[in-house]
Amino acid sequence: MNYRITRRDFIKSATLSVTMAAAAGPAIAQPGSANEKLGVAIVGIGGQGEFSYENLRRERMVAVADVDTVRAGKPYTAFDASCQFTDYRKMFDKMHASIDAVVVATPDHSHFHPASIALELGKHVYLEKPMAHNVWEIRKLTELAAQKGLTTQLGMQRHVKDNMHRVTELIQAGAIGDVTEVHTWIGSERGMFPRLTEPQIVPATLDYDLWLGPVEHRPYDSKITPYGWRFWWDFGTGETGNWGCHDLDIPFSALHLDYPTHVAVTGPEPHAEMTPTAMHSIFDFPAKGDRKALKLHWYQANGGPEILKHYGLSTKGKNNLFIGTKGILLCGFDERDLMQQDAKGTWVSVLTHKSAMDFAVPEKSVPDSPGFHQEFVNACKGGATPPTCNFSYSGPLSETVILANVAYRSKEAFDWDHTTMTCANAPAAQALIKPVYKAGWEVA
């Protein structure tokens, strides 16, 4: 097989291989019960992929692919040599009949191709966040997973934390009334990550062309590969993609958010190549069901947003402020504090001083998770409960996160029509919705 081929041609070839294998003899069976082990392949094990490997190793680990055989480390060598690959396309071609589920833990720019191939081949997918590098890729993966009826999970592991469940229950029980605004932030100045000035030699163990994947050639830089890529538009999505999916998971879960209708961003002058050190995004979400229309603010801001000073609040351990008609809720992944104004207009912490106000903590309604990876395994094996961060939920969240980058880079606020994927009257923003791949990586 020629491995420098388009994804469409690869899928045709791999599908033909599956058909021929079935005709020649029985393929390895899909797991049908909790007692059967899941056949798992991992694409990208040298970084975050090792975390999934450790959480899934009790299943049947059948194949691994990583572009750097040294950085892939000890987990890579735990696989039999015949199941070790540098090119995930060769892995799929040789091992697809043994694979039930695929973990994709590569840099943002190379999420889409292996994940979409896996879904096309009927494999369940655990994918690291953000779902993909741009809005078009995210939408395609979301639609493909739904079309195929496959189990999916996006790597927002904090979703299973007990405190997140309790925040959701408080908001949905109306503890602060109708939510009118949410302010979400990451306290960070990371970005503007310049290249090294001296020439760099590509390590002999790294397939750099394959690491670049669908991106046009860029000089190798040891500060960018394997990690600094996150702060370069060609490869990453900045702190917005890095932390946005985690932090915004709290309001998306509590308020049943999906697609915004308007996006606007302020921040420093955008750089053509590097992600920013600060930005402020504003999303409008329309009323839905019992929820009123609201504004969602996302910040990359060292020290948190200015609104915290208005309420005299600390950012320590927190990343979300819900503002409602009856109070405010300040929370993070592990902490929460609900405040209401007393008769004198003083903000009182209701959760820590329950006698100060007429307030009843709602009963638990969000079930405990068996574990983030276990949710995925159980559903792959036929369990009735889908993973909590399946693509139908995490797709719209990921789109929202990346739309912030679109508005920032284009310097255009726009109305977003999610049904047609159009940025109204914003041509520069529209140009960033769908990628242009280099020759050999085109997608039909």
pLDDT, tens digit, 9 for 90 and up, residues 375-395: 999 999 999 999 999 999 999
- Give the pLDDT confidence score for residue 75 in this predicted structure: 94
Helix (H, G, I), strand (E, B) or coil at 329: strand
Considering the domain architecture, whether residues 356 and 317 belong to the same structural domain is answered as yes
User: CA–CA separation, 408 vs 300, rounded Å?
Assistant: 12
User: CA–CA separation, 266 vs 111, rounded Å?
Assistant: 28
Q: Which of 399, 444, 391, 442 is nearest to 124 (CA)?
A: 391
Considering the domain architecture, whether residues 265 and 410 belong to the same structural domain is answered as yes
Q: Which two tokens stand for residue 406?
A: 């679109």
User: Is the residue at 206 inside a domain?
Assistant: no
User: CA–CA separation, 247 vs 251, rounded Å?
Assistant: 8
pLDDT in tens, 323-362: 999 999 999 999 999 988 888 877 778 765 444 455 678 8
Assess whether pLDDT exceeds 80 at residue 315. Answer: yes
Considering the domain architecture, whether residues 113 and 35 belong to the same structural domain is answered as yes
User: Is the residue at 211 inside a domain?
Assistant: no
Considering the domain architecture, whether residues 79 and 34 belong to the same structural domain is answered as yes
pLDDT in tens, 138-159: 999 999 999 999 999 999 999 9
Considering the domain architecture, whether residues 178 and 305 belong to the same structural domain is answered as yes
Residue % of the chain over a pLDDT of 70: 90
Instruction: Walk across the sheet containing 279-285 and list its strands.
Output: 347-349, 336-341, 328-331, 320-324, 179-186, 294-300, 279-285, 262-266, 414-417, 422-424
Whichever domain contains 411, its CATH number is 3.30.360.10
361 vs 68, which has greater pLDDT?
68
User: Is the residue at 33 inside a domain?
Assistant: yes
Q: Indicate the pTM of the whole model.
A: 0.92
Q: How many residues does the chain have?
A: 444
Q: Round the CA-based radius of gyration of the chain to a whole number and report it.
A: 23
Assess whether pLDDT exceeds 70 at residue 197. Answer: yes
- Give the pLDDT confidence score for residue 341 in this predicted structure: 82
User: Is the residue at 204 inside a domain?
Assistant: no
β-pair type (414-417, 422-424): antiparallel
Position 279 confidence tier, pLDDT thresholds 50, 70, 90? very high
Q: Which of 12-16, 269-273, 363-367 has the highest mean pLDDT?
A: 269-273
Whichever domain contains 138, its CATH number is 3.40.50.720
Considering the domain architecture, whether residues 136 and 186 belong to the same structural domain is answered as no
User: Is the residue at 172 inside a domain?
Assistant: yes
Position 5 confidence tier, pLDDT thresholds 50, 70, 90? very low
Assess whether pLDDT exceeds 50 at residue 20. Answer: no
User: Is the residue at 132 inside a domain?
Assistant: yes
Considering the domain architecture, whether residues 350 and 378 belong to the same structural domain is answered as no
The helix or strand, by DSSP H or E, that contains position 209, with its residue range, turns out to be helix 208-212
Mean pLDDT of 198-215: 96
CB atoms within 10 A of CB 264: 15
User: Is the residue at 43 inside a domain?
Assistant: yes
The chain-wide mean pLDDT, for the chain, equals 91
371 within 8 A of 198, measured Cβ to Cβ = no
196 vs 412, which has greater pLDDT?
412
Considering the domain architecture, whether residues 74 and 110 belong to the same structural domain is answered as yes
Provide the domain count of the chain.
2
Considering the domain architecture, whether residues 125 and 226 belong to the same structural domain is answered as no
Q: Which of 149, 134, 140 is nearest to 429 (CA)?
A: 134
User: CA–CA separation, 151 vs 391, rounded Å?
Assistant: 9
Q: Which residues contact 28 (CB under 8 A, 6 or more apart)?
A: 39, 97, 98
Considering the domain architecture, whether residues 290 and 338 belong to the same structural domain is answered as yes
Question: Can you give the residue range of the structural domain that contains 277?
Answer: 159-192+222-366+400-429
Considering the domain architecture, whether residues 154 and 261 belong to the same structural domain is answered as no
247 vs 33, which has greater pLDDT?
247
Q: Is the peptide bond before 130 cis (omega within 30 degrees of 0)?
A: yes
Helix (H, G, I), strand (E, B) or coil at 402: helix
Considering the domain architecture, whether residues 135 and 163 belong to the same structural domain is answered as no
- Give the pLDDT confidence score for residue 29 in this predicted structure: 32
94 within 8 A of 70, measured Cβ to Cβ = no
Position 199 confidence tier, pLDDT thresholds 50, 70, 90? confident
Query: What residue type is 243 in one-letter code?
Result: W
Position 444 confidence tier, pLDDT thresholds 50, 70, 90? confident
Helix (H, G, I), strand (E, B) or coil at 232: strand
Position 2 confidence tier, pLDDT thresholds 50, 70, 90? very low
- Give the pLDDT confidence score for residue 358 in this predicted structure: 57
The helix or strand, by DSSP H or E, that contains position 245, with its residue range, turns out to be helix 238-247
Residue % of the chain over a pLDDT of 90: 82
Q: Which residues contact 157 (CB under 8 A, 6 or more apart)?
A: 372
